[in-house]
Amino acid sequence: MELFKRQIAEVPNVTQMHQVKDESVVKRGSRVFRNAVRWFKAGVSDRLTSAWPSTPLPADLIVERYQRTLVARSREQCANNDYGRNYLRLTHQNIVGPQGVMLQAQIRNAQGKLDNKLCDAVEQEWSNWNKKHHCDIQGKKSWRSIQRSCVISAAKDGEFFVRIIRGADAGKYGFALQMIDAQRCPIMYSAKLSGGRFIRQGIEFNQFGRPIAYYFDSDSEEEKQYRVGSGNYIRVPAEQVIHGYLEDIVGQKRGMPWTATSLFRMKQLSEFEDSAIVNARISANKMGFIQWKEGHGPKFEDDDEIQIESQAGEFPVLPEGAELKEWSPNYPTGEFLPFHKAMLRSMAAGMGVLYNNLASDLEGVNFSSIRQGTLDEREHWKELQQWLIEALVEPVYYAWLEYALLKGQIKKGNVPLKAVDIERYTQVTWQPRRWAWIDPSADVTAAEKSKNNMLTSAGAIIREQGKDPQTVWAEIARDTRTMIDEMVAQGISKEIAEEMVLASMGKKQAGAVGRPKEGM
C-alpha cells in the first residue's frame, strides 16, 4: 500500500498551478529573447557599438553632409597619392580605352536586311563629328577624350556634367559639348518652389523627382573660385545637361566619389609610408656623437637654441652637460610589408579592382589565381562600360542625330537623310573596349569549338575582341581578293592562287576523292 501511494503524484492546488505556469512562460519568453538577440549581433546596442550609427539616414542628408569633404579629399589623394593616380589610370584605361566606345550602325531596310550604305553614312558622319574641333566647344578634346574626362570626373568627384551647346557658337556642325566642373553645381542650394517643384542640391525637380533644370555658379572658364552660399546662379534647362553618376541609395540625386570608402586608408597609408621613409633615412644617417669632457668644449648661452640635425657622414657635437641616450631607429622592419599589403587589399576591394593591378605587385602570383582575378575585374569594368553608354554615349548620340538630321548633315550619296525616319537611325550598337585573351592558345581553341558546335557565332567572338564584325569581314574579303589578284598578276594561275590563299586561312585542300592531299 505504501508503494502504491508513492507512485501516485500529488496534485497541486490551483495557486501552485498558476505559479508554475507563470514561471514557465517567463522562462520561455526570456529564452526567446536571448535567441532573438543572437540572430543579429550587428543589431545590438552596447558599449562596443555606441559610436556605430543605429538610425538610417536618407540619401540627401548623407550627400549634403559628406560630399564636398569627400570630393576635396579625393582630389587631393588622386593628385598626390601614387595609388590614387593609379586607380584613375585603371578606370579610364579599362572603361574608355584607346578608342573609346565605338558606334556600330545596324540600320535595316524594308526587307529587314542590313543597309550597309546607310550604316556607312551614319558612321562616317559620326566619326567626323568626333574630332576635337567639332565635338568640344573649346576645340581641345576629341569625343574619346570627353569620355575619358567624364570617367575621371566620376571616379574622383563622383559625377560628371556635360552641357549640350547648339547653334552658331557650337562650331561647324552647330552641335558641341561643354564639360562643367561638378562642384560648380552647388550641393547646398535647396529651395521649395510652386506647383510641387523643388530645388535640391543644385537641381530643380518636378513633384515626381524628374530633373527640370540645373543651377551652376558659372558656365564659363572665367571663374577661378567656387561661389558658396550665393543665390546668383545660372539656370540651365535639363534638356541641355547630361548628369552622370552611380546611384548607391534610392533617391540619391548627386554622386559620391568612387574612392570614398578607400580614402581614409589611402591617406593613413601614405602618412605611414612617409614616416617609414624618414625613419629609414635617419637610421641610415646615424654615425655617432662627439661629447666633450667636463670643462672642455664650446660654450653655449642659456638662450641659445640647440639643434641637432641628422646628416649622412657627420658627427654632431653634444653641448656641455648633455648625455647621449641610446636611440636605434631600426623601423621599418619585417612587419612593414604584411601590414602594407593588408591595407592595399582593403583599398582594392573598395575600389573594385584587383590588388595586383592597384599595387603593381605580381609577386607570388600563379596563372590560375591571376586569371580568376582578372576575369572578375573585367566583369566590373564591363558593367561600368554599360553605365557610361547609358549615362553619356547614348544621350549624346540621340541629341546629335536629331540635330544632324534636321540640318541635313547626314547624306546617303548626295541625298540628305530624312528626319522623319529617325527611329530607324537609332538602330545602333555600341562597342566598348575589350581585352586580349589571357591564354590565347586555349581561349582561341575554346572559341573555335564553341563556334563549330553552334554555341556562339563568329560575330560574337569578333565583338568580344572589341571589333566590328562587318568591318572585319569586309577587310578579310578585300585582303583575299587583293592576294589572289596580285598572285595572278605575277604569273600564278588563278586556281593555284586560290588554293594558296585558302591554305593560308587554314583550310585543307581536298584531293580528287574529297580527301585532303598528301602533305597537307
- What average pLDDT does the segment 2-30 reach? 56
Query: Which of residues 340 and 18 earns the better pLDDT score?
Result: 340
Rounded to a whole number of angstroms, the distance between the first and last alpha carbons of the chain is 110
Is pLDDT of 173 > 90? yes
In 332-352, which positions are buried (b, 16+ CB within 10 angstroms) versus exposed (e)?
beeeeeeebeebbebbbebbb
Neighbours of 373 (CB within 10 A): 17
Segment holding 164, helix H or strand E = strand 159-166
Using alpha carbons, select from 261, 336, 252, 246 the residue that is nearest to residue 87: 261
Answer for the pair 466, 146: CB distance below 8 angstroms, yes or no.
no
Is pLDDT of 515 > 60? no
Q: What SS3 state is found at 368? A: helix
* Amino acid identity, position 23: E
pLDDT at 441: 74
Number of H helices, E strands in the chain: 17, 14
Phi, psi of 178, deg, nearest 5 = -125, 120
Query: What CA–CA distance (Å, rounded) separates 199 from 205?
Result: 6
Query: What CA–CA distance (Å, rounded) separates 391 from 244?
Result: 5
* Highest mean pLDDT out of 41-55, 186-200, 216-230, 445-459: 186-200
Q: Indicate left, alpha or beta for 276 from its phi (over 0: left) and psi (-120 to 50: alpha).
A: alpha
pLDDT band at 63; cut points 50, 70, 90: very high
> Which pTM does this prediction carry?
0.79
Answer for the pair 156, 266: CB distance below 8 angstroms, yes or no.
no
Query: What CA–CA distance (Å, rounded) separates 475 from 459?
Result: 14
Q: What SS3 state is found at 237? A: strand
223-232, 275-284, 340-349, 423-432: which has the minimum mean pLDDT? 223-232
pLDDT at 27: 65
Looking at the DSSP assignment, which residues form a beta bridge with residue 175?
Answer: 166
**Cell numbers placing 232:** 546668383
Query: What CA–CA distance (Å, rounded) separates 151 from 160?
Result: 8
**436-483 per-position pLDDT tens digit:** 877 777 777 888 788 888 888 888 888 877 777 878 888 888 888 888
Neighbours of 286 (CB within 10 A): 13
Query: What CA–CA distance (Å, rounded) separates 242 from 149?
Result: 14
Chain mean position to CA 484:
47
Neighbours of 83 (CB within 10 A): 22
Give the angle 396-145-247 at the CA atoms, nearest 5°: 60
**241-255 per-position pLDDT tens digit:** 999 999 999 999 999
**319-360 per-position pLDDT tens digit:** 666 666 666 666 777 678 888 999 999 999 999 999 999 998
